[in-house]
Amino acid sequence: MAGRPENLAGKVAQHVSGERLWDRLMVLSGFGATESGGVNRQALSDEEIAARAQLVRWAEAIGLEPSTDPLANLFLRYRGTNPALPAVLIGSHIDSQPTGGKFDGAFGVLAALEAVEAIIAGGVRPRRSIEVVSWMNEEGSRFAPGMMGSAGFCDVRELDEILRIRDQTGIAVETALHKVMSAESRVSHRPLGAKPAAFVEAHIEQGPILELEGKTIGIVTGIQGKRTFRVEVAGEENHAGTTPRSARRDAFVAAVDIVRALHEALWDDEDVVRLTIGMFNVSPNVPSVVPARVVFSLDLRHPDPARLRALGDAIGEVCRTAAGRCAVAVHELLHEPPLEFPLAIRQTIRSVATALQVSCMDIPSGAGHDARYLHSLCPTGMIFIPCKGGISHNEAESILEHHAADGARVLAEVAFALANAD
Amino acid sequence: MAGRPENLAGKVAQHVSGERLWDRLMVLSGFGATESGGVNRQALSDEEIAARAQLVRWAEAIGLEPSTDPLANLFLRYRGTNPALPAVLIGSHIDSQPTGGKFDGAFGVLAALEAVEAIIAGGVRPRRSIEVVSWMNEEGSRFAPGMMGSAGFCDVRELDEILRIRDQTGIAVETALHKVMSAESRVSHRPLGAKPAAFVEAHIEQGPILELEGKTIGIVTGIQGKRTFRVEVAGEENHAGTTPRSARRDAFVAAVDIVRALHEALWDDEDVVRLTIGMFNVSPNVPSVVPARVVFSLDLRHPDPARLRALGDAIGEVCRTAAGRCAVAVHELLHEPPLEFPLAIRQTIRSVATALQVSCMDIPSGAGHDARYLHSLCPTGMIFIPCKGGISHNEAESILEHHAADGARVLAEVAFALANAD
């Protein structure tokens, strides 16, 4: 850290070890490692349980106190000088998509651990406790919807409702949680909730902007809005060789027509609308049978609340008009309006980055994060670092070691500053 | 049978019991019965093994000799006065689609059993043996491709190649066959093949024409040609919230564009082309991930060989042109040209139907059948009866009892005539 000003910021950040952080990222990526260099570490899986145990070992080695709440959100506490005060939470999640990368979520948790380790090494104990947190099931690929642990923590979703959700094999969240709890019998329990003093989440950008702009730190201004739908198309099963086109009610053909109509109706020249059909299931899904049924997902995002509302409200009619001789039903699963993080936290991040001479810029988040729900509970902010080519939710996800280190430095100073604030 | 002329035809047909045939159809439909009134009795499954045991019990009760070949094709032999002569085979299959009906295949096997029972009751033993046959895996929904047993019997496909094919759970045909064989330890074994004197398959039409025309018997003129393809579309997995449309290589969007282009390129105003996309699999198939890969099936059928060739040959180029920024690969799995059954057998069916005063008409087959492969080995014909609304490969499949009985009457006389022919 030679050449940097001897200010408060430098005191903590200089103890961040980019090498240690990188080593831990590589160790953690071994839990659920895939052949193609990615990670399959879905929520509450054996792989995640093993990764959590590793987190606890690292935390206990530096004196942090681990605890879990009824949703298996995992907290690693560095006690402040006044432990009665609400704590500052920093972290993210360590569950992944089935074909996820090494850094989505994991970077935020390990950068938080590194930040606390640096604060401890700096020999300066903050007023408030700082807790590294790993939220349960951010990805939502095994148990839908995602951001489940933070939703329960922030009372956005009821505990009972969450416990009843099942994965595709019929296992309930409640059952999967029992497995985690029994594997972590040594970790102490705490109740759900408790309003934190603040929450800061570091994360890879998952988009191409920081890389394109040549900046290291993204000061996240907010999260775009999101609406999700399930569309069900019902036709009639029939024989592929004998049924004339005119006599068919082919659910697949209708679904394709619907998808085309949706792409047209929701098109914007500006390329701001994010429209994704990621899941598409055909029944009975055999080559020689005209499909009777298609169920597909629709993920719609936009930063402008009015535009998001208008686009999403049009979907039902577009689907019905394009369905031809098939029946169609549209179910909305989620409507989260866009949000903006408080200026004060964004300003703290900017001041720290500037003092550390790390380049930064304002950036909106295209993806949802646990910070969305924490924002409803306490002052919340996010710190992005670049990821290669903007590629994410992909086994090829990649970041640079020095970006990770700079992200942890900024996070360490921000957390320390917030933990000493009134 | 009162009022019918005292000719040879009437002698055998008068012993067909429509009631017994219907009862057996209902009993057989209990093996693999689904809640919605259909049948799930896929090839070599426990349900099919149980149904085969029932067939053997019925056959043994009237003195037929059961035997199976190395592909578990099941033969129920009624010995002729000159058993050294090649036998006449009559039958179909009893495996079903996962959501199949009660009559597809099962009607043909039980009508054949009823025909033999009528011949026995008539007290007239034919020169040639008559064998009721149930071909292994006609549907091809568990082990692809279908018509597997008849393909092996007729040497269209090599035994070794068939044995290695696996279902979606990884079970090989060879393993599944062992299970059948050990369940049927009392049934004698015979080698694969042996050229029959003739083969006649009764089957439900699986189309609407006989019903629309008010005819009971379809004299099948031939089977339309069929080409099947597997299309693989490769794009790039990415995050649904962060990746602009212009930066995506969305395999699902490309696949939908390809499907639309195929529908346009293969469109015919006459509605003779049969184009079906029955299987469509998206990866990783989660709502918040831009799909990296789509694999779909293409089933193309046409009665005219030149047109079938031209349409199928155009598919690769249509796919490549419509794939946009994604890569596409097209693999042809099957190319079966149209075929025409010999006039002599069609004439025998017509004469019998006329003598029995059962209405009949010529009709092409839209679906493939085991008769396709038998046609390459021996004189072959097919007899259709109507099915309600032309609905098939569907749990709602339905036929009328008196149509079934008339089909069995015609089959009995045709089989008897062929078994006495030189």
Q: Which two tokens stand for residue B385?
A: 């009866």
CATH superfamily of B8-224+339-420: Zn peptidases (3.40.630.10)
CB-neighbour burial class of residue B284 (10 A; exposed 0-12, middle 13-18, buried 19+): buried
Q: Is the dihedral of CA A371, A376, A381, A384 positive or negative?
A: positive
The C-alpha atoms of residue A78 and residue B283 are separated, in whole angstroms, by 42
Q: Which residues of A touch B97 (CB under 8 A)?
A: 284, 286, 288-289
- Domain A8-223+339-420 falls under CATH 1.10.3720.10: no
A371-A374-A378-A381 Cα dihedral, nearest 10 degrees: 0
A244 touching chain B per CB within 8 A: yes
A258 touching chain B per CB within 8 A: no
CB contact (8 A) between residue A288 and residue B140: yes
What does the pLDDT look like over B352-370, one tens digit per residue?
Answer: 999 999 999 999 999 999 9
Q: Which residues of A touch B139 (CB under 8 A)?
A: 288
pLDDT at A157: 92
pLDDT beyond 50 at B6: no
pLDDT beyond 50 at B236: yes
Q: Which two tokens stand for residue B193?
A: 């093949």
pLDDT beyond 60 at A5: no
pLDDT at B136: 98
What does the pLDDT look like over B64-100, one tens digit per residue?
Answer: 999 999 999 999 999 999 999 999 999 999 999 999 9
pLDDT at A144: 86
pLDDT at B138: 97
Q: pLDDT band for position B3 (50/70/90)?
A: very low
Q: Which two tokens stand for residue B223?
A: 């089977």
* Contact call for residues B282 and A279 (beta carbons, < 8 A): yes
Q: What percent of chain A has pLDDT over 70?
A: 98
Report the pLDDT averaged over residues A306-330: 97
The C-alpha atoms of residue B154 and residue B149 are separated, in whole angstroms, by 9
Report the pLDDT averaged over residues A56-62: 98
Q: pLDDT band for position B145 (50/70/90)?
A: confident
What does the pLDDT look like over B242-262, one tens digit per residue?
Answer: 888 998 999 999 999 999 999
- DSSP class of residue B247 equals G
CB contact (8 A) between residue A141 and residue B224: no
A224 touching chain B per CB within 8 A: yes
Q: Which two tokens stand for residue A65?
A: 């106190």
The C-alpha atoms of residue B125 and residue B58 are separated, in whole angstroms, by 19
CB contact (8 A) between residue B140 and residue A368: no
H-state helical runs in A266-304: none
- The residues facing B339 across adjacent strands are B223
Query: Domain locations in chain B?
Result: 8-224+339-420, 225-336
What does the pLDDT look like over A312-323, one tens digit per residue?
Answer: 999 999 999 999
- Give ipTM to 2 decimals: 0.79
Question: Judged by CB atoms within 8 Å, which residues 319-358 of B form the interface with A?
Answer: none
Report the pLDDT averaged over residues A160-184: 96
The C-alpha atoms of residue B174 and residue B172 are separated, in whole angstroms, by 5
Q: Which two tokens stand for residue B386?
A: 């109507």
- List CB contacts of B338: < 8 A, sequence separation 6 or more: B222, B223, B224, B225, B302, B303, B304, B305, B308
DSSP assignments along A204-273, one per residue: E--SSHHHHHT-SEEEEEEE-EEEEEEEEEE---EETTTS-GGG---HHHHHHHHHHHHHHHT--TT---
A228 touching chain B per CB within 8 A: yes
pLDDT at B393: 86
Option in A237, A241, A367 nearest B367 (CB): A241
Q: Which of A137, A223, A238 to mutate to test the interface with B (most CBs of B within 10 A)?
A: A238
Phi and psi angles of residue A254, each rounded to the nearest 5 degrees, phi first:
-65, -40
| Three-class SS state of B220 | strand
The alpha-carbon radius of gyration of chain B (Å, integer) is 23
CATH class of the domain defined by B225-336: alpha beta
pLDDT at B288: 87
- What is the residue-averaged pLDDT of chain B? 95
pLDDT beyond 90 at B19: yes
Q: Which residues of A touch B365 (CB under 8 A)?
A: 241-242
Q: Which residue has the tokens 């349980």?
A: A49
pLDDT at A6: 39
Q: pLDDT band for position A4 (50/70/90)?
A: very low
pLDDT beyond 80 at B7: no
Q: Is the dihedral of CA B98, B99, B102, B105 positive or negative?
A: negative
pLDDT at B410: 98
CB contact (8 A) between residue B394 and residue A237: yes
Cα–Cα distances in Å, from A377 out to A156, A337, A373, B419?
A: 10, 16, 7, 86
What does the pLDDT look like over A114-137, one tens digit per residue?
Answer: 999 999 999 989 999 999 999 999
The C-alpha atoms of residue A415 and residue A412 are separated, in whole angstroms, by 5
Compare B267 and B2 and report the one with higher pLDDT: B267
- List CB contacts of A10: < 8 A, sequence separation 6 or more: A1, A4, A355, A356
The C-alpha atoms of residue B371 and residue A289 are separated, in whole angstroms, by 20
pLDDT beyond 90 at A177: yes
pLDDT beyond 50 at A188: yes
A237 touching chain B per CB within 8 A: yes
B240 touching chain A per CB within 8 A: yes
pLDDT at B396: 94
Option in B205, B260, B395 nearest A256 (CB): B260
Q: What percent of chain A has pLDDT over 90?
A: 91
A242 touching chain B per CB within 8 A: yes
The C-alpha atoms of residue B130 and residue A103 are separated, in whole angstroms, by 69
Residue A193's nearest CA partner among A91, A65, A69 is A69
Residue of A nearest to B277 (CA): A287
A253 touching chain B per CB within 8 A: yes
pLDDT beyond 50 at A17: yes
Cβ neighbours around A335 below 10 Å, total? 14
What does the pLDDT look like over A258-280, one tens digit per residue?
Answer: 999 999 999 999 999 999 999 99
- List CB contacts of A218: < 8 A, sequence separation 6 or more: A205, A209, A210, A360, A361, A362, A363, A383, A384, A385, A386
